[in-house]
Chain A
Amino acid sequence: MTYLLAIGTGKGLFLATSRDRRRWEVSTPMFAVNGVYAVGIDTRRTTPRIVVSADSAHFGPSVYTSDDLGKTWEEAEHAPPIAFPADTGATYKRAWQFAFPAPAGQEDVVYAGSEPWALWRSADRGASYELVRSLWEHPHRAEWGEGAGGPAIHTIVPHPADARRMLIAMSTGGVYRTEDGGASWTASNTGVKTEFMPGDLHYPEYGQCIHKVSRDSQNPERLYLQNHGGVYRSDDDGRSWTSIADDLPTDFGFSILAHPSREGVAFNAPVAFSDNRYPYDYRLRVYRTEDAGASWTGLNVLDDPYYGIVLRDALCTDGAETPGLYVGTRVGDVFVSADDGESFVQAAGHLPDVLCVRAAVV
């Protein structure tokens, strides 16, 4: 059994492989000096496909795929894989997310979320994409804003069984849901606070700065949400949200991740607060809940002081029967746990800042 770990950084993609998740071979950078904000490993077909967003400061963005675990890469030739139609007047900057819907009949469908805020649909396993115009033309778009990272749809959460249902999230704009396969979209932020707005505007219909949403693997109606201030849970597929931050040391952070096989279990990597973006208590810890957020347990990744935070897509699992938990940081380290966070080994270090990690058994 081989584990593949894809690490997107500010200066390229690194691929690491391991047979035991303790000793890792890490590649030299691919797409060197490109920002890799999104990477996906699509294991729905027999041959796994890696999908990578790479953007060059000089030569712009593109999307690449590999069907041989990164030995060679393909890029659509005759038209850019993602490009805004001329009538939009918009310019694609980068993808922040790839999502691979699970429902039967969707095996070749890939969704991408981009900067600026747009959702894209691919019917050829991520090689080329079409703009989802229903969301781009949403009447709220004129009022969507941008966080420090950029105006992006960075979260796509398809429903695991119902191809008509999907949730997306953006900074800033909030959560939007569709129940008709993307024909229409409804803001769905009830209960999610905008702490950066004046008091009487703390709970708007939309405009929240969502950082990440993850769906419970066993209960598809349940979602976990890390907000820009606030950690929430939904038990109704994102229609409404309630706080689960009371037992966390801080409610700020970027990442949140549901356990891939245990109901009610999720991981979070708290950041001190919005104006002090270091790990809480200057320690690299993952917090785990086993009761859907009612209580949280801090798990040390390292015991020493640590100053790199975990960004929104730098927590992931690998889909193995005994799942791995992967933690990437802005100071270029990636740690792996094979016991739900009780202990960690370092998979890679001294890389550029880690923007995203994805792992799979291949």
Chain B
Amino acid sequence: MAVTVIIPGALRVDTGGESKAVVELGGDAVLRDALDALAARHPRIDRRLRDEQGVLRRFVNVYVDGEECRRMEGLDTPVGASSEVQIIPSVAGG
């Protein structure tokens, strides 16, 4: 199944300018699988989103079909055919 990942402007330097990436996943896929597939295509973007232990960075929000993943099952949130994964940096800094 195809899942679309929408890349924020700040990270498009790590995707060769792509604003979205369509990744192919097997059945019963979860958000982690979508990010793994994105990382396989664009290795540098993964370190921006997750630390080396695989934990989503604190100020990176990832929405699955419009709902922030932390409100659901985090990286174990299921994704389905035609799901849209949107990466949005949170409001932080000064």
Residues of A within 8 A of B (CB): 33, 56-60, 62, 75, 77-80, 83-84, 86, 89-92
Instruction: Kindly state the separation between the CA atoms of A33 and B43 in the bound complex, as whole angstroms.
Output: 22
- Any chain A CB within 8 A of the CB of B65? no
Closest B residue by C-beta to A61: B47
Q: Show 11 residue pairs from A and B whose CB-CB distance is below 8 angstroms, ordered by the A residue.
A: A57-B92, A59-B11, A59-B89, A60-B47, A83-B52, A84-B53, A86-B52, A86-B53, A90-B53, A91-B53, A91-B55
B residues in contact with A56, CB < 8 Å = 48
Shortest distance from the beta carbon of A104 to any chain B beta carbon, whole Å: 34
Contacts A86-B52, A86-B53 given; does A58 touch B59 at CB 8 Å: yes
- Number of chain B interface residues as a range: 10 to 19
Chain B residues 54 to 88 lying within 8 A of chain A, measured CB to CB, are 55, 57, 59-60
Q: Mark B24-62, 1 if CB is under 8 A from A, else 0.
A: 000000000000000000011001110111010101100
Closest B residue by C-beta to A85: B52
Q: How many A-B residue pairs have CB under 8 A?
A: 48
Instruction: Kindly state the separation between the CA atoms of A84 and B51 in the bound complex, as whole angstroms.
Output: 10
Residues of B within 8 A of A (CB): 10-11, 43-44, 47-49, 51-53, 55, 57, 59-60, 89-90, 92-93
Residues B51 and A77 in contact, CB atoms below 8 Å apart: no
Instruction: Kindly state the separation between the CA atoms of A345 and B10 in the bound complex, as whole angstroms.
Output: 37
Residues B92 and A58 in contact, CB atoms below 8 Å apart: yes
Residues A59 and B60 in contact, CB atoms below 8 Å apart: yes
Contact pick for B93, options A57, A60, A75, A83, CB 8 Å: A57
Instruction: Kindly state the separation between the CA atoms of A335 and B93 in the bound complex, as whole angstroms.
Output: 28
A residues in contact with B92, CB < 8 Å = 57-58
Instruction: Kindly state the separation between the CA atoms of A62 and B46 in the bound complex, as whole angstroms.
Output: 12
Shortest distance from the beta carbon of B40 to any chain A beta carbon, whole Å: 10
